[in-house]
Every structure is written in C-alpha cells, then in structure tokens.
Structure 1
Amino acid sequence: MAILALAAAPALAGWSAARAAAPADAAGQLRAFVKDVRSASGSFTQVTTGAQGAGGGQQQAGSFAFQRPGKFRWAVEQPYEQLVVSDGQQLYQYDPDLAQVSVRAAEAAIGNAPAQVLFGSGSIDASFKLEPLSARDDLAWLRAVPLTSEAGFSHMDIGFADGLPMRIELLDAFGQTTRIEFTTILPNPDLPAGAFEFAPPPGTDVVRM
C-alpha cells in the first residue's frame, strides 16, 4: 500500500481542494463520491452480528481497491484469507483454505449489491431510495434501500465525512448486520497494472457458476 500512497500524491492534492466543498448532507456526499472518485484503495475492518446484535462475530481486517466501472479487489487478510476480485467482466471469489475459486459474470453477481453503491458508475437513484438519517459519531448518514427484492439485503446505512465513506452498516435478508469501517481510504491513486486480474494458483478447483 505504501507504493500506492506515493504514486497518488498529485491526486491527493486535487482531492483535498475538492473535498473542502463537499456537500454537508450524506446523499450529496455519496453522489459526489461516485462522480469524482474514479478509483480508491485502502484498508477496512468488518464484523457480522446476528439479529438484534446477538452472537457477535469475529472481526476481519483487510485491504481493498476499486476502479470504475465495476473493477474491485476486496481482500480479507485476518484472521484468515479470502479474496473477491472483479475485472469488470468476471467476478472471482477465492478461498485459499479450500483451494477453490468460483467464477461468475460480474454484472450478474454484483446486481444491486453494496458494491454497486460505492464501486459502480450507474445512477444511484435508479437502483436505490436514499433516505437521510440523523448524524452520529461525527458522520453524516444516509440509508440506501434497494428498489427491487433481488438485492439480497434490506438496507445499507453509510456514514460520510469529508466526502468519503467511513462506515457501512448493512442489514441482510436474514436479520444479520455487517459493519464495515474504512480505516484508511485513498482517493484516485495510480493503481498498478493488473490490480484487478486473478489467476488461480496451480491445483485450485475452479467452479464456474
């Protein structure tokens, strides 16, 4: 990640000026983020809990990168490794412990999933109803409610600060809540060639969906 940080210095200078004029409301910040941030990299933590917060899950940590439209890399690194990569055409979900990767069409796999909100390039309002929420934890919040029942989740709350998403709280169809916190996020870096390519390691079982 250090290499990415050095390469992105000019982009950061431009972003600092842009975010100074970021809208105060979360919906405005989301629309500006989709419009102005063409790529990003950073790190995250996430944890999933059951209904009403029961059965606290194990915290995961990892790194991510994305490039519009539809390319992203989401790598869980602790406490175990998992990798999801989309090159914009195919989506690869790799489990090193199982030595297995599933491959499917990126468009069919993403659909109205959370990746579309942050990593896609289409109209947010065509797929989601955006509802303002009260500010908390020094963040401006909105709720994104999918307009179709095929999304696989009930709603997603996103907290913004300075034009960047800082936290996501997603309620799925089973009543589980996944909380994702972006511990770092670097807008518009120069990502390395091949950042969104994936070649299964030798001996990996490839399952095409």
Structure 2
Amino acid sequence: MRHLRSFAPAAFVSVLALASLSAVTSESHAQSGAPAAAAATPSVDQAVGKVQSFYEKTTSFKAGFNQEYFVKAYNQRKNSRGKVTFAKPGKMEWVYDEPKDNKVVSDGATLRIYEAANKQMFEMPVDKNQQQYAVALSFLTGQGKLTDHFTFEVAGGDKMAFPGGYVLVGTPKVPQPAYTKVFFYVDAASSQVRRVMVLDGQGNRNRFDFENPRINEPVTEGQFKFTPPAGTTVVKP
C-alpha cells in the first residue's frame, strides 16, 4: 500500500499522527480555508450534532483541496492539490492537479486509485476498505454517522490555530491500524468541515484543507467512473 499512501485522500485515510492533542496545538498550521473571526466553543454534543445535521441535508459536496502528508521517520512532507467531489450515496472523485492527472474515484462499489506517473491503478471493492480508508470522510458521502465510529472531544479554534471555528477530535471506538485520531476543523458559522487531519501511531500526519466548498451542485454519474489510459497496470487485492 506504499503507493496508495503517498497521495490517497485522507478520507480514505490511513495516516497522520501526533502523540497527543497538545502536540497539534503547539504547531503552526497554515490558515488555508480557515475562518478568520473568533468563535465560541460549543459542547461536544452540540458540535457533533450541527456537523452531522449539515451533511445529512447535502446531496453533493465540491471543493478545491490542498493535502500535506508528513512522514515523521524521514521528516519529509509531500504536498498535493486538486479538486474533490462527493455525492450520495458513497460516491467521490479526487482529481489531482499535483501530482498531475492522479485520480481517486469511487462509484460507491469500487475504489480506483490511479497514479499517472507510474501508469498504475489500484482497484478494490469499497466494502473491504471502509475501515481503513473511508470512515474519516464517510459522513460527506451520506454513508456514516460520526458517533457510530468515534468518541469525541471538542477544542476551541483559538487553541488550535483555527479562529472562527472549533475542532472535533475523534478517537476511533474500535482501534484501527490506519489511524489513532481524526481531527475535524469546523467553521462555526456554517458547521462545514474545512479541514480534516488524520494521525497514525507512527507520528505520520495527513491533512486536507478544503477551499471554496459548495453543496448540492449538480453532479454526473460519469464523474465517479474511471477507465485508465491504455497501457496502465491494474493492481487488485
């Protein structure tokens, strides 16, 4: 799964880690997509309820994204960017501008991860990868309820370098090999998740900042299907 981890969305998230919440608060995070004004911190139940309610009312979600993947053992960062679309039930399309032409596509049944530079595509049933990859962002596709998978704490945005919002810190109820915590950075005014950061037990971090999010815009079924170029090596489990 080395190639998959190098650029796959944290929504299918395997990675990111800090030993504790305090380790995150001590870092300086870029404010890409973050709201600017200070906001009161709601209770955990209020915060989770507002986020869940917002996404239950959406049929589609589109945004630009910036991704930063940090490998602690080598002190290396890999930055990527592109556009993402989610649609109910369980459909998504990640189109990468950098690395150019990489794609991650799911029609709800099959997940396809295409690496353009290597002419290689990983193809796998979604049901075999829900726990490893999809749980962190499954609520965006209408497949998940946050409290089914996580126990939450809430932190004020001022303490998390996220003014104008707050951060839901989710610990998986069932221990996962792919991650130890997921951080949902929420815009207080809209209850939209503007950033997701996933942490793993090795100190790796995978962070996604969503820019210019739009909801309930039209989508086409063709977005969620992908046939790779001729000559592509297809790898299946």
Instruction: Compute the TM-score of the two structures, normalised by the length of structure 1.
Output: 0.80
> Which stretch of the first structure deviates more once superposed, 198-207 or 116-125?
116-125
Go from structure 1 to structure 2 and tell me whether the alpha carbon gap of 1:112 and 1:205 turns closer, same or farther (over 3 Å shift): closer
The answer on whether the counterparts of 2:52 and 2:139 sit within 8 Å (CA) in structure 1 is no
Q: Which residue of 1 aligns with 2:94?
A: 74
Q: Could you tell me which of 37, 59, 62 is aligned with 1:41?
A: 62
Percent of pairs with identical residues: 24
The answer on whether the counterparts of 2:139 and 2:145 sit within 8 Å (CA) in structure 1 is no
Go from structure 1 to structure 2 and tell me whether the alpha carbon gap of 1:208 and 1:50 turns closer, same or farther (over 3 Å shift): closer
Q: Could you tell me which of 178, 198, 204 is aligned with 2:232?
A: 204
Q: Secondary structure at the match of 1:194?
A: helix
> Which stretch of the first structure deviates more once superposed, 114-123 or 68-77?
114-123
Structure 2: segments with no counterpart, 5+ residues? 1-40
Q: Secondary structure at the match of 1:111?
A: helix
**Which has the larger share of strand?**
1
Task: Give the paired residue count.
Answer: 186
The answer on whether the counterparts of 2:155 and 2:169 sit within 8 Å (CA) in structure 1 is yes
Structure 1: segments with no counterpart, 5+ residues? 1-22
Q: Distance in 2 between matches of 1:48 and 1:147?
A: 24
Deviation of 1:120 after TM superposition, in Å, equals 4.1
Q: Secondary structure at the match of 1:116?
A: helix
Instruction: Compute the TM-score of the two structures, normalised by the length of structure 2.
Output: 0.71
The answer to whether structure 1 residue 175 and structure 2 residue 203 are counterparts is: yes
Q: Which residue of 1 aligns with 2:7?
A: none
Go from structure 1 to structure 2 and tell me whether the alpha carbon gap of 1:151 and 1:133 turns closer, same or farther (over 3 Å shift): farther
Deviation of 1:79 after TM superposition, in Å, equals 4.2
Q: Distance in 2 between matches of 1:32 and 1:148?
A: 24
Matches within 5 A, 1:45-194: 45-51=66-72, 55-111=75-131, 113=133, 114-136=136-158, 137=162, 138-150=164-176, 152-161=178-187, 162-194=190-222
Ranked by relative contact order (alpha carbons within 8 Å, sequence separation 6 or more), the top structure is: 2
Deviation of 1:41 after TM superposition, in Å, equals 1.0
Residue type matched to 1:122 in 2? Answer: G
Residue type matched to 1:110 in 2? Answer: Q
Q: Distance in 2 between matches of 1:119 and 1:39?
A: 8
Deviation of 1:115 after TM superposition, in Å, equals 2.8
Q: Distance in 2 between matches of 1:172 and 1:131?
A: 18
CA RMSD of aligned residues (A): 2.2
Q: Secondary structure at the match of 2:48?
A: helix
